[in-house]
Chain A
Amino acid sequence: MDRLRARVDLAWAAIAALTLCSIAVAAVLPAGPATNGLLLLAAAAKGRWLALDFLGLRDVAGPWRGLLGAWIVAVVAVAWLASLAAALRPV
């Protein structure tokens, strides 16, 4: 139980820190696919942390972690490709 508690506490700290970093990155860095990529990468990392330690998938069969990871990757990949397409559109 101590190990579980430590994992959950660490996951919360990491997700909260990445959220604060995302707010700062969005405010400071110029708009565009590179900044969007950083923000989406942070979102994917937070989602993965949540799935493994809050949702408890770290200790279940690999395919379940893969499925949820695939959902996260698919959503952020589509979002990044869309932002790239928007940036490449002729004005």
Chain B
Amino acid sequence: MADVGDTASREEGWGVLDGLPGHPMMWVLIGSELAAFGLMLAALSVARAVQPAVFAAGAAQLDARLAGFNTLALVTSGWFAARGSIAARAGRRRGARLWLAGAIALGALFLALKGVEYAAETAAGNGLETSTFFTLYYLLTGFHALHVLLGMVILAVTAWRAEAAAVETGTAFWHMVDLVWLVVYPLIYLLR
């Protein structure tokens, strides 16, 4: 979260990474994560082109509305995290902790609903080896869910002291996880 006249929390001496919100090493991680997710999403798209009927049948069995509600939960969590970062930089540590606690709670809701979704799919007989669609569905959404879990831990650690630089770094990871889901959602649940 950049702001005019507030560069106290920015690391310097990292060359081209100077000026990015949060610690530059977090951006190295974000870059590698986006590369990994990008390749997985490209693989999903290519598989869809090769087996359109399998993907249409698989996607039709998913609950797009539940996943849509989950998308709203994660987006709102990202909003809370962004407001938490603003509060931390304004020196309002208690406010920052409250915003971040809200973000973590919504992350937990996302994971809980993901668990409900997985339970429904496995009960319907849709497992990891049911079809190419479901293999990629479980791999991609499961890998993403692990990142949500890791993001919740990072947010909790940064909320402890609620220092501006740490909160900005933690929320940058959280927003990356949010960004990836915004693309995963239509690719898996909505495209026909």
**CB-based contact A16/B183 at 8 Å:** no
**Stretch touching chain A among B110-118, B122-130, B145-153, B170-178:** B170-178
A58 to chain B, nearest CB (A): 7
When distances are taken between beta carbons in the complex, the residues of chain A under 8 Å from B71 are: 19
B3 neighbours in A (Cβ, 8 Å) = 1, 4, 59
Asked whether any CB of chain A lies closer than 8 Å to the CB of B105, the reply is: no
Interface size range on A against B = 35 or more
Complex CA distance for A5 and B56, rounded to whole angstroms = 41
Q: How far is the CA of A89 from the CA of B34 in the complex (A)?
A: 30
B1 contacts A4, C-beta separation under 8 Å:
yes
Check B81–A54 contact: CB distance below 8 A: yes
Interface of A is mostly: helix
| Contacts of A36-91 to chain B: CB distance below 8 A | 36, 39-40, 42-43, 46-47, 50-51, 53-61, 64, 68, 71-72, 74-76, 78-79, 81-83, 85-87, 89
B42 engages A55 (CB within 8 Å): no
Q: Across the interface, name the chain B residue whose C-beta is closest to A19.
A: B71
Cβ contact within 8 Å between B49 and A85: yes
Given contacts A60-B2, A89-B52, contact A40 B186 (CB under 8 A): yes
Known: A23-B64, A26-B190. A54 touches B78 (CB 8 A): yes
- Whole-angstrom distance from the CB of B28 to the nearest CB of chain A? 13
Interface residue from A15, A23, A36, A50 paired with B191 (Cβ < 8 Å)? A36
Across the interface, A59 reaches (CB within 8 A) one of B2, B49, B192, namely B2
B75 within 8 A of A: yes
With contacts A16-B72, A47-B183, A64-B20 known, what are 8 further pairs, Cβ within 8 A? A5-B83, A8-B1, A15-B75, A31-B192, A39-B190, A54-B178, A59-B2, A68-B34
Which 5 residue pairs of A and B lie closest in terms of their CB atoms, listed nearest first?
A: A31-B192, A59-B2, A86-B52, A82-B45, A12-B79
